Chain A
Amino acid sequence: GAGVSQSPSNKVTEKGKDVELRCDPISGHTALYWYRQSLGQGLEFLIYFQGNSAPDKSGLPSDRFSAERTGGSVSTLTIQRTQQEDSAVYLCASSMIARGLFTDTQYFGPGTRLTVL
């Protein structure tokens, strides 16, 4: 597609439920990222997928968070047993890889606003 797309745009859930957030990166982009934006923490990195390499999961805040990327394209971020502090906007980005390892411009999707009641 023309840009990064994410679904759903809004998600309201009850504490303790599991949620899945989806990201469709720009076609041909080999790198995919998840970030989240919350009032207290600003914009923070969660996880990074690059090609067939093992993902960099070092930004995931707890073991309730997991992500996968199928076929090198679409990615799903799963949050199990949601807590109120998980409420945030979850942003996905994608990029090409320039000069071997370094990333080129990261393009962001519109985000999913998650509210945990």
Chain B
Amino acid sequence: GIQVEQSPPDLILQEGANSTLRCNFSDSVNNLQWFHQNPWGQLINLFYIPSGTKQNGRLSATTVATERYSLLYISSSQTTDSGVYFCAVEADRGSTLGRLYFGRGTQLTVWP
């Protein structure tokens, strides 16, 4: 299956700071999603972004499919941004269509 690597594994920020999370993947993909897992364990969709750039409020994401990476930008971070951020991809060929492969996540802690 596809390998998904996220960096950094841990990130500690002061409220108001900006950050960039990275996701590298080992093969071409059809689907790439960014999730935020809140302290209660719920996986919240942030972006569906197999290619291109999207923005939603203080968050934006860019996927460069030809170079097999995606970036998640968080600006003016808030304490409520704390949690684990996951990148997940679906291969665009083969027997694994449909399933998402997840990275190990980035644990973000934002201090007031």
Contacts and interface: CB of A to CB of B under 8 A. Distances in A.
Contacts, number: 59
B98 A33 contact: yes
A48 B98 CA distance: 7
Given A108-B42, A110-B41, A111-B41, A33 B99 contact: yes
A20 interface: no
B43 A108 contact: yes
A28 B93 CA distance: 25
Interface on chain A toward B: helix, strand, loop, or mixed SS? strand
A91 B99 contact: no
Nearest to A106: B100
Interface of B: 30-31, 33, 35, 40-43, 45, 48, 86, 88, 90, 92, 95, 97-102, 104-105
22 contacts: A31-B98, A33-B99, A35-B100, A42-B102, A42-B104, A45-B99, A50-B98, A56-B98, A56-B99, A89-B41, A91-B43, A102-B30, A102-B90, A103-B98, A105-B48, A106-B31, A106-B33, A106-B88, A106-B100, A107-B45, A110-B42, A113-B41
